[in-house]
């Protein structure tokens, strides 16, 4: 199903007409406005005007507040603590890319036209900066479930640093994080390259094959309710037996898939839609963003789709 299709009440899908698409765009221009504001795509004057409306216009905030809260719920790089080796590797990679960019500008066949060469180097640097900003925005909507992974961590961080964070500099806050006695939750991440898939054994009773370009993150242990959480962005195939205690749940930006033991595929390439195909067994599909969203049971051979804040449905 493409983004310009939707489920009818009977579960069938049809393509929206151009007129319907244009009407949908005009229905709520404030959604486009607040999204551009949060993404930093508005000119400075317009951005200041939107910020003023958020502060002084309760009716406006009531309409778009849920979007603002959801946007700020997505984790950023500050939500993760990378090993020193990985940080060093990333630093070297960015340095190499910068040096390569400079060399490309120096080797460009501009002859004696220094102005043209300088313009070309500037354009390359600008394009590179735009790509970096785009990657940062893509990173910003990474699965909110990462916050669930680190929820217990943040409790002791707040308790240990509440006084220090007010009076001491950031360096002391970092020291408190490193020396706090409560261990941080352990999790693992697999992110295949652009042209490969990677099989991953999640436990003795669970296996996943993560497609190229996807990302799968999981906690080493179950949560307090006995649930094993798997966080997926992209496409993956899962083979799971019934968990000895509790059960598995696959979490995407737009859905949760509760698993009692089955083989199934999950596609979450677009963060606003998740597609599930059950090859064997049974799963429960639930949309995110709405606490009242019903659970849809999918059995062997069935397909389902879940959109953010919309009830899940079957797909023929």
Strand 198-203, strand 215-219: pairing: unpaired
Residues 264 and 283: beta-carbon distance below 8 Å: yes
Reported confidence tier of residue 155, pLDDT bands at 50, 70, 90: very low
Tell whether the model's pLDDT for residue 263 goes beyond 50.
yes
Tell me the mean pLDDT in the region 175-202.
72
Tell me the mean pLDDT in the region 82-100.
64
Tell whether the model's pLDDT for residue 68 goes beyond 60.
yes
CATH of domain 186-315: 2.60.120.1440
- Give the 3-state DSSP-derived string for the chain, with helices as H, strands as E and coil as C: CCCCEEECCCCCEEECCHHHHHHHHHHCHHHHHHHHHHCCCCCHHHHHHHHHHHHHCHHHHHHHHHHHHHHHHCCCHHHCCCCHHHHHHHHHHHHHHHHHHHHHHHHCCCCCCHHHHHHHHHHHHHHHHHHHHHHHHHHHCCCCHHHHHCHHHHHHHHHHHHHHHHHCCHHHHHHHHHHCCCCCCCEEEECCCCCCCEEEEEECCEEEEECCCCEEEEECCCCCCCEEEEEEEEEEEEEECCCCCCEEEEECCCEEEEEEEEEEEEEECCCCEEEEEEEEEEEEEEECCCCCCCCEEEECCCEEEEECCCCCEEEC
Quick one: what percent of the chain has pLDDT higher than 70? Answer: 54
Tell me the mean pLDDT in the region 35-63.
86
* Residue of higher predicted confidence among 92 and 233: 233
Instruction: Dump pLDDT digits (tens) for 32-46.
Output: 788 788 888 888 888
* Residue of higher predicted confidence among 112 and 283: 283
Query: What tokens were used for 172?
Result: 């002391």
Tell whether the model's pLDDT for residue 83 goes beyond 60.
no
* Residue of higher predicted confidence among 277 and 18: 277
Tell whether the model's pLDDT for residue 244 goes beyond 70.
no
Quick one: what percent of the chain has pLDDT higher than 90? Answer: 27
CB neighbours of residue 316 within 10 Å: 8
Tell me the mean pLDDT in the region 179-184.
50
Reported confidence tier of residue 265, pLDDT bands at 50, 70, 90: very high
Reported confidence tier of residue 298, pLDDT bands at 50, 70, 90: very high
* Residue of higher predicted confidence among 7 and 303: 303
The pLDDT value recorded for residue 37 is: 86
Least confident of 141-145, 263-267, 282-286: 141-145
The pLDDT value recorded for residue 277 is: 96
The pLDDT value recorded for residue 290 is: 84
Instruction: Dump pLDDT digits (tens) for 134-151.
Output: 555 455 445 444 444 444
Tell me the mean pLDDT in the region 162-188.
49
Domain boundaries, the chain: 5-73, 80-140, 151-184, 186-315
Phi, psi of 113 (to 5 degrees): -85, 85
Tell whether the model's pLDDT for residue 154 goes beyond 80.
no
The pLDDT value recorded for residue 188 is: 87
Average pLDDT of every residue of the chain: 72
């Amino acid at each position: 199903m493409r983004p310009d299709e939707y489920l009818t009440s009977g579960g069938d899908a049809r393509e929206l007409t151009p007129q319907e698409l244009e009407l949908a765009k005009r229905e709520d221009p404030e959604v486009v406005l607040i999204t551009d504001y949060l993404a930093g795509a508005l000119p400075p004057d317009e951005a200041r005007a939107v910020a003023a409306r958020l502060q002084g216009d309760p009716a406006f905030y009531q309409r778009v507040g849920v979007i603002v809260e959801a946007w700020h719920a997505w984790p950023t790089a500050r939500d993760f603590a990378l090993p020193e080796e990985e940080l060093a590797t990333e630093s070297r990679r960015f340095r190499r890319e910068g040096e390569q960019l400079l060399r490309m500008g120096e080797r460009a066949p501009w002859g004696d036209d220094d102005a043209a060469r300088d313009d070309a180097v500037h354009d390359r640097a600008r394009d590179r900066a735009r790509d970096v900003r785009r990657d940062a925005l893509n990173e910003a909507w990474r699965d909110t479930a990462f916050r669930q992974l680190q929820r217990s961590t943040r409790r002791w961080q707040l308790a240990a640093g509440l006084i220090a964070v007010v009076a001491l500099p950031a360096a002391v806050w970092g020291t408190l994080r490193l020396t706090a006695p409560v261990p941080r939750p352990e999790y693992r991440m697999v992110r295949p390259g652009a042209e490969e898939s990677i099989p991953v054994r999640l436990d003795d009773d669970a296996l996943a094959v993560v497609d190229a370009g996807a990302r799968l993150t999981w906690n080493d242990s179950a949560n307090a309710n006995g649930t094993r959480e798997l966080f997926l962005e992209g496409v993956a195939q899962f083979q799971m037996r019934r968990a000895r205690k509790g059960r598995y749940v696959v979490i995407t930006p737009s859905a949760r898939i509760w698993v009692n033991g089955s083989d199934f595929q999950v596609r979450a390439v677009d963060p606003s839609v998740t597609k599930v195909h059950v090859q064997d067994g049974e799963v429960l599909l639930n949309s995110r963003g709405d606490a009242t969203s019903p659970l849809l049971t999918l059995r062997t051979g069935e397909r389902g789709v879940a959109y953010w804040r919309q009830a899940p449905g079957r797909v023929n």
